Amino acid sequence: MTPEEVGERLVHLMATDDPALGAVTAEVSGGGPGHARAVVDVPVARWWHAAEIARDPGALSCDFFDWVSAVDELDGGFAVIAHLWSTRRRHGVLLRTRVPRVDPEVESLVDLYPGAAWHERETYEMFGIVFARHPDLRPLLLPPEFEGHPLRKEFVLAARVAKPWPGAKEPGESEAGTAKRAPMRPPGVPDPNEWGPMKGKIPPPETPVRPARPVRPAGERPARPPRVTPAEVKPAEETAEGEGN
């Protein structure tokens, strides 16, 4: 089945006359032939049901769970995405739903796909999205005392502030140690003068002094060098002979 057919099939199987359940829509991802996938958007309340239909051998036969993760959409909440694959029919589908930023929660797929356990734990840890009915939703990668969710866009990337740059000099600093332009900070990296142990202690960067331009009287233009035409340029051999004579 093509990605278009996969998406249409799942939308058809999830069709309902109850508008309260929400609409199910499908599109096709990028990637070109062999890499494009059907992307099916489902309401969060129908997330588990969509995965169950996709796994059904009589529907899409997606018997293999590949991965699940999330995307921080800021004011739009979080997009939760799972990739399912059919080992028999050789097609896949990307299930996508959206959860709110406050108390984000979606139903776990572990009872359908046991392989989802590790991925749901990682997504819970990195984004703070709760997977309801997960049998063991505990930290996976970070130490127990760690606070926050590193893949949320508001998470402060404090490594460059908490400890010095490991190189011999900061990026942009010259070998001579002269004044340099303040380096650009990527998103999430705070200004060390506004956050962290050096708050309020860092002097502003020096502004390099540019040499003053000579002042010319108004209306006066510098003299241009005389133009030399090709006829006036003698070959080097002729010049050398003339000098010898």
Predicted confidence (pLDDT) at residue 245 exceeds the cutoff of 70: no
Burial 162-198, CB ≥16 within 10 A → b, else e: eeeeeeeeeeebeeeeeeeeeeeeeeebeebeeebee
Query: What type of residue is 24?
Result: V
Q: What is the mean pLDDT of residues 172-180?
A: 53
Q: Give the model's pLDDT for residue 176.
A: 55
End-to-end CA distance of the chain: 91
Distance in angstroms (rounded) separating the CA atoms of residues 137 and 131 = 8
Q: What is the mean pLDDT of residues 181-206?
A: 67
What's the CA angle centered on 143, arms 128 and 115, to 5 degrees?
60
Predicted confidence (pLDDT) at residue 228 exceeds the cutoff of 90: no
- 3-class SS string, 65-120: EEEEEEEECHHHCEEEEEEEEECCCCEEEEEEEEECCCCCEEECCCCCCCCHHHHH
pLDDT higher at 40 or 210: 40
Predicted confidence (pLDDT) at residue 219 exceeds the cutoff of 80: no
Q: Give the model's pLDDT for residue 33.
A: 85
Distance in angstroms (rounded) separating the CA atoms of residues 67 and 19 = 30
> Are the CB atoms for 80 and 70 separated by under 8 Å?
yes
Cα-flanking dihedrals φ and ψ of residue 172, to 5°? 95, -15
pLDDT above 70: percentage of residues in the chain: 70
Q: Give the model's pLDDT for residue 50.
A: 97
- What residues are paired with 40 via a beta bridge? 26, 95
- 3-class SS string, 14-57: CCCCCHHHCCCEEEECCCCCCCCCEEEECCHHHHHHHHHHHHCC
Q: Give the model's pLDDT for residue 149.
A: 93
> Are the CB atoms for 178 and 172 separated by under 8 Å?
no
Each residue's pLDDT tens digit, 107-154? 999 999 999 999 999 999 999 999 999 999 988 889 888 888 999 988
Predicted confidence (pLDDT) at residue 104 exceeds the cutoff of 60: yes
> Are the CB atoms for 152 and 129 separated by under 8 Å?
no
Q: Give the model's pLDDT for residue 229.
A: 66
Q: What is the mean pLDDT of residues 200-227?
A: 69
Each residue's pLDDT tens digit, 29-69? 998 888 999 999 999 999 999 999 999 999 999 999 999 99
Beta strands in 78-234 (DSSP E): 78-86, 91-99, 105-107, 130-132
User: To the nearest 10°, the Cα dihedral for 6, 9, 11, 14?
Assistant: -130
Could you give all domains of the chain from N- to C-terminal order, each with its CATH number? Answer: 3-132 (3.30.460.80)
Q: Whose CA is closest to 42, among 123, 122, 130, 107?
A: 107
- The number of residues making up the chain comes to 245
Q: What is the mean pLDDT of residues 18-26?
A: 91
